[in-house]
Amino acid sequence: MVLAVPGVPNWAELKLGLWACVGIWLVAGAAAAFNCLVEKTIDAKMKRTAWRPTAKGELSDRQALLFSAILCAVGSVMLYVLVNPLTMWLTFATFVGYAVIYTVILKPLTPQNIVIGGASGAMPPVLGWVAMTGQVGPEALILFLIIFLWTPPHFWALALYRVEDYRKSGLPMLPVTHGNEFTRLQI
Amino acid sequence: MPFVYGMSSWLYLAAALVLSIGFIAYAVALYREYSDELARKTFRFSLVHLSALFAALLLDHYIF
C-alpha cells in the first residue's frame, strides 16, 4: 500500500489504507473460517490443525458458516463503500479462489494444489495496490509473481517434515504422492 | 523483478540476491541429505525470506 503512493502517505491515503486492511482482513478471515468448516474431518487428523474449534466440534457447521458469511459480507461492504468496488471484487475473487477453488477442488485432487492455489496467497499486494490506486498496476503484478513463485518451495518444505500427518489426512501433497526425494529436487 | 522494472534500486537487488542464495543453499543442503530438522529450518527460512524481501522493498522505496 505504501509502495503504491509516492513518498510518505498523507492522512487521506492512510485512512484509505486502514479501511482496506480491515476490509481485506475480514474477508480473509471469512475464507479461513470456511476452510476450517470444509476441512474439519481432515484437520482433526493432523497435529498442526487438530486444535481448531471446528475440528474439535466446539462449533457447529451452522455457526461456522454464519460466522464466515457475516465476515465476508461486512468486509465486502466496507471495501465497496469506503475503498473502491474493484478492490471488493478482487478480494471476493480471492475468497472464492481460496475457499472454493483451492480448499474444495484442488487440495484433495492434485499435488499441484499449492502451486495453483498459491495464486490466492499471492493476491494481497495486488489488493493493496488496487485499494490505493484504483487499478492493477504492473508493479502489483510483479509483487504477485514474487509471492506466487515463493509459495511452492515454502509449502513443500513444510510438507516434507509433516508428511505423516498429510498421509493420514489423505491429502495428495507432493511428498505423499511422489516421495521425499522428488520433493527435495523440486524445492 | 522490481529492480529490472525500475521500481526499486540496488538495495532491493542486493537483499533479493543474498536471500535467494540463502534459500538455494538450504534447498541444496536439504537435497543432499534429508532430515526433518533441516526441512523445518528451510521452512522457517522461507518465512524470513519473504518478510525480509518485502521489508527491503519498503526501505528501498523510502531511501531512494
Binary contact (A2, B58; C-beta < 8 A):
yes
Q: What is the pLDDT of residue A164?
A: 85
| Complex-level ipTM | 0.88
Nearest C-alpha of chain B: how many angstroms from A154? 6
- Please check whether residue A93 lies inside any domain of the structure: yes
Q: What is the pLDDT of residue A176?
A: 86
- Please check whether residue A2 lies inside any domain of the structure: no
Nearest CA in chain B to A8: B62
Within 10 angstroms of residue A65's Cβ, the number of other Cβ atoms is 14
Q: Which of residues 155-174 of A touch B (CB under 8 A)?
A: 157-158, 160-161
Range of the domain at A66: 11-186
Nearest CA in chain B to A162: B36
State pTM to two decimals: 0.85
Q: What is the pLDDT of residue A105?
A: 86
Best B33, B46, B61 member to test A by mutation, with max A CBs in 10 Å, is B46
Q: Which residues of B touch A161 (CB under 8 A)?
A: 36-37, 39-40, 43
Distances (CA, A) of A94 to A14, A123, A148, A186: 23, 7, 14, 26
- Please check whether residue A5 lies inside any domain of the structure: no
Nearest CB partner across the interface for B39, out of A8, A143, A157: A157
Nearest CA in chain B to A181: B31
Q: What is the pLDDT of residue A2?
A: 79
Q: Which of residues 7-46 of B touch A (CB under 8 A)?
A: 7, 23, 27, 30-31, 34, 36-37, 39-40, 42-43, 46
User: How far does chain A reach from its first CA to its final CA, in angstroms?
Assistant: 30
Amino acid identity, position A33: A
- Please check whether residue A19 lies inside any domain of the structure: yes
Question: What CATH number corresponds to the domain at position A144?
Answer: 1.10.357
Rounded Cα distance between A124 and A86, Å, is 14
Q: What is the pLDDT of residue B61?
A: 84
Rounded Cα distance between A34 and B36, Å, is 31
Torsion sign across C-alpha atoms A6, B12, A126, A31: negative
What tens digit of pLDDT does each residue of B42-51 get?
A: 999 999 999 9
How confident is chain A (187 residues) per 10-residue block, as mean pLDDT?
A: 80 91 94 92 88 89 93 95 93 92 86 87 91 89 93 92 86 84 82
Best A184, A185, A186 member to test B by mutation, with max B CBs in 10 Å, is A184
Q: What is the pLDDT of residue B7?
A: 78
Q: Which residues of B touch A185 (CB under 8 A)?
A: 31
Q: What is the pLDDT of residue A85?
A: 93
Instruction: Provide the grid cell at A117.
Output: 492455489
**What average pLDDT does the structure give for chain B?**
88
CA A42 to centroid of chain Cα atoms: 18
- Please check whether residue A1 lies inside any domain of the structure: no
- Please check whether residue A26 lies inside any domain of the structure: yes
Rg (CA), chain B: 14
The conformation of residue A52, written as its DSSP 8-state character, comes to: S
CA angle A8, A11, A17 (to 5 degrees): 80
Instruction: Provide the grid cell at B46.
Output: 522461507
- Please check whether residue A72 lies inside any domain of the structure: yes
How many structural domains compose chain A? 1
Q: What is the pLDDT of residue A117?
A: 84
Place of cell 490466492: A120
